[in-house]
Amino acid sequence: MDIITVYFFYGLSFFSMGLAVLLEVDRSSELDFARALRSLAGFGIIHGGHEWIEMFLLIHPDVESTFFYQFIGPGRVILLAVSFLFLISFGARLIAGPNRARLSWQMLGVITIIWAVGLIWLFIFEPSDSRLVALDVYTRYSLAIPGAALTAWGLILQRQKFLQAGMRGFGRDMIVGALAFGLYGGVGQLFVAPSNVFPSSFLNAEIFLGWFGVPIQFFRSVMACIAAVAIIHSLRAFEEETRRQIDALSQAQLAERKRLEELRGELLRRTVRAQELERQRIARELHDELGQTLTALGLGLRAISDTAVSKPEKVSGQARQLQSIVDAGISGLQNLVSGLHPPQLDDFGLVAALRWYGAEAKERFGLSVTVSTRGDEAPLSIDARTVLFRIVQESITNIIRHAKTDKADVLVVFGEKDVRIRIEDNGCGFDVDGTLHKPGYPCWGLLGMIERVALIGGECQIVSEIGKGTIVEVTMPFKEMEDGENLPVVGG
C-alpha cells in the first residue's frame, strides 16, 4: 500500500472538512453546533496540514539531514498539539453548551496542563535521539484520545438537540460522526510509533500492521473520511434551520397582515358607528336646542301679534325677550358648528384653531394647554389641517380623561420638508405596547390616531412611561399635503 497516498487522503479529508466548516462559522444559528464550529475548523485545517507535512517528509527524506530539520521536528509536534487542542475545544463546547462556556475552558485548561507537565518531563529525561518520537506519542495519548472522546460525546449530545428540533436526518450524521471520531481516537491514536512511553512499547503501529496487514495511517484515513463526510453533510442543518426561520417569518407576516386587516375592518366599523352616533347627537341637539328656540320664537311672535293692537306697551318687552332667545339660539348653533368643524381651521389656519381649542379646554375642563410654534406657518390642505387638528383634539381628550394632570403642551414645528406636532403631558402615563396590542381589547382611539395619520402619508409615534407622562409626536411631509392636492377624506 502506498503510504504517501494514504497520508495525502488523510490530510485531504480533514483539511476539506475544516475548510467547509470555516465557510459556515459566521452563520447565524440557534444551534450549539454552530457556536463550536470555529474550533472544528481549526482542527481540520491544522491537522490536515500536519499530515501533508508528514507526506512531504516521506517524499523528501533527505530533509532530515539538513539544518532546518531541527526546527521542523519540534514544529510538527507543536502543530499536532495545537490541532488536537482545537478538537478538545470543539468537544468541550458541545458538551458544556452556550450557557456554561466557563466549563469548556476549564476542561481545555486541565487537559492542557496535564499535557504540558508530561511534555516537560519527557523533554528533560528522554534521550535526545528518541525525544521527538516520545513527544509525538505522548501528545497523541494525552490530547488526541481525550479530544476524540469529548468530540464523540459532544456529537451524541448534539444529536438529541437535532431530534428535538425535528431534524432526524442530521441526528444520524451526528451518530456517524461520533462513531468515526471515537474510533479515530480510541484506536487510531492508540496504535502509535514504538517508544518508551507506555504502552507504545508493546501496543504500537507495528503491532497493528502485523495484526491487520494495513498501516494504522490507513485506518486513521478511513475514519477521517467518514468523519469529514458526516460533518460536512450535517452542515446542511443550517440551511434547513434558515428555511424554517423564513417559513416562520412568513407565517408571522401573514398573521400580522391578517391582524392589521382585522384592525382596519374594526376601525372602519367603529368609524361608521361613530358617524351614526354623531348624526344622532346632531339631530338630538337640533331638536332640543334649535327646535325649542324656534318654537319659543314662534310663540313669542304670536303673542306680539295678539297684543300689538290691544296692549302696544308690552310689545317692546316681548321683542327684547325674543332677541334674547334668538341670541341663545345663535350661540348654541355656533357651538354645534364648532364642535363639528371649527371655522378657525378654514379662516385662520391650524395654529389659530389649536389655540382656540386650548382655550376651550381650559374654560370647560380646567386643563391648561400651551400652544407654541417654531418656523413660519406653511399653507396646508384642508384635509391635512383637519387631520392634525383631530390628532391634537384626541390627544387632549385623552389627557383630560386619563392623564390626571392639569397641564399640557402642544408644539407645532414647521420645517423645510415637513410639519411636526408634539403633544406632551406630565400625567400618570401608561403602557403603550400593552394598550395597543391588548388581545381583543386594543385602544381604538390610539389606533385611530395612527391610522388617520398614515392615510395621508404621515407618521404618529406615542411614547409613554407609567408615572412619567406621555408624548404624542406627529410628522407629516409637505409633499403629502400641499394645498390643492386631492387628499383622501379621513373625517373631521
pLDDT of residue 487: 38
Residue 315: the pLDDT is 67
Domain boundary among 335, 370, 385: 335
Do 52 and 163 belong together in one domain? yes
Triad 37, 93, 137: Cα angle to 5°: 90
Positive or negative torsion for Cα 199, 205, 208, 210? negative
Q: Name every residue whose Cβ is closer than 8 Å to that of residue 235 and which is 6 or more positions away in sequence.
A: 20, 21, 24
Encoded amino acid at 449, one letter: M
Q: Do 153 and 16 share a structural domain?
A: yes
Segment 75-98 shows an average pLDDT of 91
Q: Give the DSSP per-residue string, 273-291.
A: HHHHHHHHHHHHHIIIIIH
What is the average pLDDT score of the chain?
82
In sequence order, the 6+-apart residues with CB closer than 8 A to the CB of 131 are 122, 123
The pLDDT-based confidence of 80 (bands split at 50, 70, 90) is very high
pLDDT for 488: 37
What residues make up the domain containing 313? 261-335
146, pLDDT greater than 90: yes
How large a percentage of the chain has pLDDT more than 70? 83
pLDDT in tens, 388-447: 888 888 899 889 888 888 899 999 999 888 899 999 998 898 888 777 766 655 566 777
Paired with 370 in beta bridges are 409
Q: What is the pLDDT of residue 492?
A: 39
399 and 303, same structural domain? no
State the Cα–Cα distance between residues 461 and 7, nearest whole angstrom: 66
Mean pLDDT lowest among 1-15, 77-91, 111-125: 1-15
Alpha carbon distance 49, 80 (integer Å): 9
Which pLDDT value is given to residue 421? 93
Q: What is the pLDDT of residue 380?
A: 82
The reported pLDDT for the residue numbered 484 is 41
Would you say residue 253 lies in a domain?
no
Regarding whether 328 and 370 lie in a shared domain, the answer is no
Which has more confidence, 390 or 346? 390
Q: Are residues 207 and 280 in the same domain?
A: no
Query: CATH number for the domain including 362?
Result: 3.30.565.10
Is residue 487, in this structure, part of any structural domain at all?
A: no
Does 402 lie in the same domain as 309? Answer: no
Last residue of one domain, picked from the residues 335, 354, 389: 335
Residue 243 grid coordinates: 428555511
Q: Which residue has the higher pLDDT, 301 or 388?
A: 388
The span from the CA of 92 to the CA of 32, in Å, is 11
Q: Phi, psi (5° rounding) for residue 467?
A: 90, -5
Higher pLDDT among residues 472 and 168, named by residue: 472
- Do 42 and 190 belong to one domain? yes
Least confident of 18-32, 150-164, 198-212, 270-284: 270-284
pLDDT of residue 79: 93
Q: Do residues 38 and 179 share a domain?
A: yes
Query: How many Å apart are CA 27 and CA 21, to the nearest integer?
Result: 10
Using alpha carbons only, give the angle 341, 338, 413 rounded to the nearest 5 degrees.
60
Closest CA to 92 of 82, 106, 81, 79: 106
Instruction: Mark whether 182 and 111 lie in a shared domain.
Output: yes
Q: Which is it for strands 407-414 and 368-374: parallel, antiparallel or unpaired?
A: parallel
In a domain, 424, yes or no: yes
Q: Where are the alpha helices (DSSP H) in 126-215?
A: 131-139, 145-164, 168-183, 205-212
Dihedrals phi, psi of 368, to nearest 5 degrees: -85, 115
> What is the percent of the chain where pLDDT is above 90?
25
pLDDT at 483: 44
Residue 377 sits in the same domain as residue 404: yes
Whether 189 and 49 map to the same domain: the answer is yes
Sort 27 into a burial class: Cβ within 10 Å, 0-12 / 13-18 / 19+. middle
- Low-confidence winner among 40-49, 70-79, 183-192 (lowest mean pLDDT): 70-79
The whole-angstrom distance between residue 17's C-alpha and the CA centroid of its chain comes to 32
Cα–Cα nearest to 457, from 423, 441, 481:
481
- Report which of residues 223 and 314 the model is more confident about: 223
> Is the model's pLDDT at 352 over the cut of 80?
yes
Q: Which residue has the higher pLDDT, 49 or 382?
A: 49
CA distance 376 to 416: 10
- Reported residue count of the chain is 492
> Quick one: 294 and 369 in the same domain?
no
Say which CATH number the domain at 162 has. 1.20.1070
Does a structural domain hold residue 453? yes
The tally of domains found in the chain comes to 3
pLDDT band at 114 (very low <50, low <70, confident <90, very high): very high
**Does residue 206 fall inside a structural domain?**
yes
More confident residue, 481 or 225: 225
C-alpha neighbours within 13 Å on the C-beta side of residue 146: 20
Q: Is 316 left (phi over 0), alpha (psi -120 to 50) or beta?
A: alpha
Q: What is the pLDDT of residue 249?
A: 83
486 in any annotated domain: no
Helix axes 101-125, 131-139, angle to 10 degrees: 160
- What pLDDT is stored for residue 64 in this prediction? 74
Alpha-carbon distance 107 to 109, whole Å? 5
Q: How far apart are CA 98 and CA 93, in angstroms?
A: 7
Question: Is position 177 within any domain?
Answer: yes
- Name the DSSP letter for residue 468: S
